[in-house]
C-alpha cells in the first residue's frame, strides 16, 4: 500500500512552490533533463498514449529562434532561464499505440479515423503531461515558470513545420509537421527576488461540491 508523502514534500510540491520569473545562474544539466523526463513519463495518460513531446531549449541559438514568438512580458524571463521547454503534442501519437497499449490492437485504427478524437486526446493529455513536468521538476529541486503568452503558430512554424530539422534530438521525430505547441515552461533554479506576492486561491466551497 502506498504511503502519503510527508509535509515537507507537500510544501515543496504545492504550498511553497512558486512560479518563477528570475533565475539563479546555476545551470540545468542534460542529465537532469533526462532524469526529469524519466520521472514524468510514469504519470498517467489516456490509453497510455503519451502524446506530449518536449523540446528542451538550452542554447542561445535555440532561445533566439523562440524570441520572435514570445509575448513582450515573457521575453526577459525566457531568454535568461537555463532551459525553456516547449510542451507540444504529436497528432500522430496513435502510431505508438501498438507498443504503448498492446492489449487493444484496434485502438490505433479508431484514432486514425477520427481527427477530432485525436485532437482532443492530444491536447488533454499533453496538458496533463506538462503539469506532470512541473511537479516532477519541483520534486527534483528545480523551479518552473509556465507560459501561454506566445504565438503558437510561429513556434510551430519555427520548430515543428514540415521539413524543419530536429534540434538536438537523436531522431527527426519532429520532422513532418504533425507536432503542435501547447505551452512553454521555463525551468531552472529560481531567484526569489523576482517573485510577485502569492495570489489567493479559491476556497473549497467556491471550487468543489460534495455530491
Ligand X SMILES: Cc1cc2nc3c(=O)[nH]c(=O)nc-3n(C[C@H](O)[C@H](O)[C@H](O)COP(=O)(O)O)c2cc1C
Interface with ligand X (CB under 6 A): 18-19, 71, 73-74, 146-149, 183, 198-199
Q: Which of 11, 48, 73, 37 is nearest to 187 (CA)?
A: 37
Compute the distance between CA of residue 207 and CA of residue 201 in angstroms, rounded to an integer. Answer: 9
Whose cell is 503519451? That residue is 50
Give the residues across from 84 on adjacent strands: 57, 186
* Closer of 74 and 125 to ligand X (Cβ): 74
Angle of helix 30-40 relative to helix 115-139, nearest 10 degrees? 120
* Closer of 196 and 209 to ligand X (Cβ): 196
Compute the distance between CA of residue 158 and CA of residue 74 in angstroms, rounded to an integer. Answer: 18
* Closer of 83 and 97 to ligand X (Cβ): 83
* Closer of 42 and 196 to ligand X (Cβ): 196
Chain residue at closest Cβ approach to ligand X: 149
Least Å from the CB of residue 190 to ligand X:
10
Least Å from the CB of residue 131 to ligand X:
8
Least Å from the CB of residue 129 to ligand X:
13
Amino acid at each position: 500500500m502506498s504511503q502519503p508523502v510527508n509535509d515537507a514534500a507537500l510544501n515543496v510540491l504545492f504550498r511553497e512552490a512558486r512560479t518563477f520569473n528570475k533565475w539563479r545562474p546555476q545551470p540545468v544539466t542534460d542529465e537532469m533533463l533526462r532524469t526529469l523526463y524519466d520521472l514524468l513519463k510514469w504519470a498517467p495518460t489516456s490509453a497510455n498514449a503519451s502524446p506530449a513531446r518536449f523540446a528542451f531549449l538550452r542554447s542561445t541559438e535555440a532561445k533566439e529562434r523562440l524570441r520572435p514568438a514570445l509575448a513582450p512580458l515573457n521575453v526577459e524571463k525566457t531568454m535568461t532561464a537555463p532551459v525553456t521547454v516547449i510542451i507540444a503534442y504529436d497528432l500522430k501519437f496513435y502510431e505508438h499505440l501498438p507498443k504503448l497499449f498492446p492489449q487493444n490492437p484496434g485502438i490505433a485504427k479508431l484514432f486514425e479515423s477520427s481527427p477530432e478524437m485525436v485532437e482532443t486526446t492530444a491536447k488533454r493529455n499533453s496538458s496533463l503531461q506538462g503539469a506532470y513536468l512541473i511537479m516532477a521538476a519541483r520534486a527534483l529541486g528545480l523551479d518552473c515558470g509556465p507560459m501561454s503568452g506566445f504565438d503558437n503558430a510561429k513556434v510551430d512554424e519555427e520548430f515543428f513545420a514540415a521539413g524543419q530539422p530536429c534540434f538536438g534530438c537523436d531522431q527527426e521525430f519532429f520532422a513532418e509537421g504533425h507536432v503542435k505547441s501547447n505551452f512553454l515552461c521555463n525551468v531552472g533554479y529560481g531567484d526569489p527576488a523576482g517573485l510577485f506576492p502569492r495570489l489567493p486561491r479559491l476556497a473549497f466551497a467556491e471550487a468543489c461540491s460534495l455530491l
